[in-house]
Amino acid sequence: MNKAFVVASDEFLAHQTGKTHPEQPQRYTAIMDALKKNGLIDAQHILTPREATNEELALCHDPYYIRLVQNEVEQTKNRWLGKVAMLSTGDVTISPESYHVALLAAGGVLTAVDAVMSGKAKTIFCVVRPPGHHARRAQGMGFCLFNNVAVGVRYLQKKYGIKKVAIIDWDVHHGNGTQDIFYDDPNVFYFSTHQYPFYPGTGLVDEKGFNQGQGTTLNCPISSGENSREEIFDAFKNQLVPALDAFKPEFIFISAGFDSHYADPIGSFNLKEDDFAELTRIVVQLADKYAKGRIVSVLEGGYHLEAIARSAVNHVKALI
């Protein structure tokens, strides 16, 4: 069987969020164990992430906010008794290693971009945490410190001169941070299917981004419940595909949140694990058509351990 390239490191376990928090280190272990058990990865295909530099983070984040995260994480070391703290800008729990691990999560996406652009890999899945798509320019929120995908997009454009990039986000939540960062940019297309009304409250159809009316933001808010699966596929086939046929991205990122699985304790969509294979195939077809097959997929949410493990296996099988 073909092997998949992944970006992964046991260092991702070091971002502690507290015993009862849904965004727990075991999410990483569950996915990696399942990928190994299914023969999808081996040592040669696991790429070690590097830390993103401050300059790279600053492609998407306010320098003041980067320092704020660093300082607040530093403070947890002084009074560390195994109790996590809360970031002052929003609902993100932090612990002594959180800054380092967040730099690795963003940097891991840069490692993936380099691997794809050097021709080493065509597609790659980044098993990173903390997630990123809620992180705004100067505000961490929703378990996210830095916007891993957004930093990857800007790095790709800057280092490799790639102009047009699409981000496809099937996490059950709207990626408000990603939308914000690229809202006025005609060269970055952001597509999201998400439960609505739901956290964080953004992602309405009329939020269209650049040049309202013909923008490069495409939101598909979907009600929870039994029709959600059908509506998600309808949005992918009848909205995403024609939109990208017109936009013609040179490179595609996936914000791969598996909290849109029916078993997820937070989301109320009803995708099954094999649906992630089908969604992935739609993206692969678009990437083959316009982007030389180049896809960097990045883990976002997903909080049911067995569901995310099975979903990630299906996603990765369809990527390779």
Which listed residue (257, 261, 271, 296) binds Zn ion by CB under 5 A? 257
Site for Zn ion contains 171 (CB under 5 A): yes
Site for Zn ion contains 177 (CB under 5 A): no
Tokens of 240: 């995403």
Which listed residue (23, 51, 250, 259) binds Zn ion by CB under 5 A? 259
| Nearest distance in Å: CB 154, Zn ion | 22
Site for Zn ion contains 264 (CB under 5 A): no
Residue closer to Zn ion, measured from CB, 72 or 264? 264
3-class DSSP state of 8: coil
Angstrom distance (rounded) from CA 195 to CA 203: 9
Residue closer to Zn ion, measured from CB, 111 or 260? 260
* CA-to-CA dists, residue 25 to 129, 293, 305, 314, angstroms: 8, 31, 10, 21
Site residues (CB under 5 A) for Zn ion, limited to 107-126 = none
Which range touches Zn ion (CB under 5 A), out of 150-158, 163-171, 195-203, 238-246? Answer: 163-171
| Nearest distance in Å: CB 246, Zn ion | 28
Tell me if residue 134 is catalytic.
Answer: yes
Which range touches Zn ion (CB under 5 A), out of 37-45, 91-99, 173-181, 213-221? Answer: 173-181
197 Cβ contact partners less than 8 Å away, ≥ 6 residues apart: none
Angstrom distance (rounded) from CA 271 to CA 277: 11
Which listed residue (49, 152, 203, 301) binds Zn ion by CB under 5 A? 301
The upper half-sphere exposure of residue 113, i.e. CA atoms within 13 Å in the direction of its Cβ, equals 29
Are the CB atoms for 12 and 104 separated by under 8 Å? yes
Residue closer to Zn ion, measured from CB, 107 or 257? 257
Angstrom distance (rounded) from CA 141 to CA 17: 14
Angstrom distance (rounded) from CA 33 to CA 157: 33
| Nearest distance in Å: CB 13, Zn ion | 20
| Nearest distance in Å: CB 269, Zn ion | 10
Angstrom distance (rounded) from CA 220 to CA 236: 9
Are the CB atoms for 285 and 7 separated by under 8 Å? no
Are the CB atoms for 45 and 4 separated by under 8 Å? yes
Are the CB atoms for 203 and 176 separated by under 8 Å? yes
**Pick the catalytic residue: 45, 61, 134, 173?**
134
Which listed residue (122, 173, 294, 304) binds Zn ion by CB under 5 A? 173
Which range touches Zn ion (CB under 5 A), out of 61-69, 190-198, 288-296, 298-306? Answer: 298-306
Q: Which residues are catalytic?
A: 134
Contacts with Zn ion, residue ranges (CB under 5 A): 171, 173, 257, 259, 301
